[in-house]
Amino acid sequence: MYWTLELASKLEDAPWPATKDELIDYASRSGAPLEVIENLQEIEETDEIFESIEEIWPDYPSKDDFFFNEDEY
């Protein structure tokens, strides 16, 4: 399983919290690339509910990771 910022961004608007099956369903209905669906299918089979993309891909950058000062613009 590999994630890129572009692939993970396809799940930003997913209906969080969500189960693995709900995320796969959302990805397929929203037209996400096949790689996103394949990555989600590789998650271990559990009934775990994911609260955000960070629980799937811990390295997902947050707003704090960018050096963009919103107050300047």
The reply to whether 71 falls in a domain is no
The reply to whether 68 falls in a domain is no
Query: What is the span of the domain harbouring residue 23?
Result: 15-58
> If we measure between CA atoms, which residue out of 39, 29, 33, 30 comes closest to residue 6?
33
Per-residue model confidence (pLDDT) at position 69: 59
The reply to whether 10 falls in a domain is no
The reply to whether 30 falls in a domain is yes
Do residues 60 and 40 lie in contact, with contact meaning Cβ atoms separated by under 8 Å?
no
Structural domain total, the chain: 1
State the pTM of this model.
0.80
The reply to whether 69 falls in a domain is no
Token pair 């572009």 is at which residue?
6
Q: What is the pLDDT along the chain (73 residues), one digit of tens a residue?
A: 788 889 988 998 999 999 999 999 999 999 999 999 999 999 988 788 999 998 998 887 765 555 555 666 5
Q: What are the DSSP calls for 3-19, one per residue?
A: --HHHHHTTTTS-SSEE
Per-residue model confidence (pLDDT) at position 60: 79
